[in-house]
């Protein structure tokens, strides 16, 4: 059963910054309603439509994207295990972006009203929610920098390292190898490139002995080399210490 403390993705995620008490864990569990498995290529949230629910990714990949009228699309971010989809449902009437499943995905629903109440009832969990939002913001900022100021080769390298670290933090990487359900076209929509050029870039990374990529599996062969190419600094992903004043403010 997924609705247990041990393998609940949200509890796992929040454990990165807080030692959760049993009570807090049970609050977090009671916040979430289980939800059926959702097939790939299904829209969960549609830009412009009403946004009445927040979701937690329990398993699978989803992605946040925007459509342009000429049919192009831009992927903003991926939502992985433990990520919160639409944390802002409590303050925004309509979605400003769409969210679609990439793989078969298991989501837990969270009622925005409950989420709001949680802010006042548990300062510690409020901090955890804010921290998650801050991390997502940092990831989005890095995405801007990647697309705006890096050439294709480094851009790709940087994204792969980000995904590696994010998946690692939720235990989904073994031996620098992880499931990689992205088509080259979706990669292109993520990186602001065309699928043709993504193909050439990936092949270059393979030829240079940095990665090994085969259909649904990505293996990072030379992480140091990749990091040097991408000029990757993981600080934005690995801020798991609260500021001292806040930590002591929460404890007693």
Partner DNA sequence: CGGTGTGTTGAAAGGTGTCAATGCTAGTGG
Partner DNA sequence: CCACTAGCATTGACACCTTTCAACACACCG
By the criterion CB under 7 A, which residues form the site for DNA? 151-153, 183-185, 192-197, 199-200, 202-203, 215
In the complex, least distance from residue 194 CB atom to DNA, rounded to whole angstroms: 4
**Contacted entry of DNA, its own copies, none for residue 160, CB cut-off 5 to 8 Å set by kind:** none
* Cβ atoms < 10 Å from Cβ of 84: 22
Separation between Cα atoms, residue 113 and residue 53, nearest integer Å: 9
CA angle 191, 100, 234 (to 5 degrees): 45
Percent composition of the chain: helix, strand, coil (DSSP 3-state, to 5) = 45, 20, 35
Binding segment toward its own copies, per CB under 8 A, in 31-39, 136-144, 178-186, 200-208 = 136-144
Q: For its own copies, which residue of 5, 121, 203, 209 counts as binding (CB under 8 A)?
A: 121
Structural contact between residues 206 and 199, judged by C-beta atoms closer than 8 angstroms: no
Place of tokens 């690995």: 238
Would you say 217 or 246 has its CB closer to its own copies?
246
Bridge partners for 220 per DSSP: 211
**166 by DSSP, 3-state: which?**
helix
Q: For its own copies, which residue of 120, 171, 207, 224 counts as binding (CB under 8 A)?
A: 120
Q: For its own copies, which residue of 3, 92, 196, 217 counts as binding (CB under 8 A)?
A: 92
Separation between Cα atoms, residue 15 and residue 240, nearest integer Å: 10
Contact positions vs its own copies (CB under 8 A):
17, 48, 50-52, 64, 66, 68-69, 72-74, 76, 88-94, 96-97, 112-113, 116-117, 119-121, 123, 126-127, 130-131, 133-134, 136-138, 140-145, 147-150, 189, 191-192, 231, 235-236, 239, 241-243, 245-246, 249
């Amino acid at each position: 059963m997924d609705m247990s403390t041990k393998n609940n993705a949200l509890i796992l995620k929040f454990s990165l910054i807080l030692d959760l008490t049993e009570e807090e864990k049970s609050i977090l569990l009671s916040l979430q309603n289980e939800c059926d498995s959702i097939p790939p290529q299904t829209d969960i949230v549609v830009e412009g439509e009403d946004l009445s629910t927040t979701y937690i990714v329990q398993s699978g990949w989803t992605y946040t994207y925007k459509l342009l009228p000429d049919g192009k699309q831009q992927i903003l971010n991926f939502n992985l295990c433990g990520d919160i989809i639409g944390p802002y449902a409590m303050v925004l009437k309509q979605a400003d972006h769409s969210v679609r499943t990439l793989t078969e995905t298991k989501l837990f629903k969270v009622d925005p009203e409950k989420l709001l109440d949680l802010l006042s009832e548990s300062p510690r969990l409020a901090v955890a929610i804010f921290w998650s939002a801050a991390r997502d913001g940092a990831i989005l900022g890095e995405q801007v920098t990647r697309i705006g100021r890096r050439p294709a080769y480094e851009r790709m390298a940087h994204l792969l390292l980000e995904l590696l670290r994010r998946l690692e933090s939720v235990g989904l990487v073994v031996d620098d190898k992880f499931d990689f359900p992205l088509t080259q076209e979706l990669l292109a929509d993520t990186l602001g490139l065309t699928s043709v050029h993504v193909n050439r870039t990936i092949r270059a990374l393979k030829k240079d002995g940095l990665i090994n990529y085969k259909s649904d599996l990505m293996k990072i062969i030379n992480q140091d080399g990749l990091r040097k190419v991408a000029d990757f600094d993981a600080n934005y992903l690995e801020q798991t210490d609260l500021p001292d004043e806040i930590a002591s403010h929460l404890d007693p």
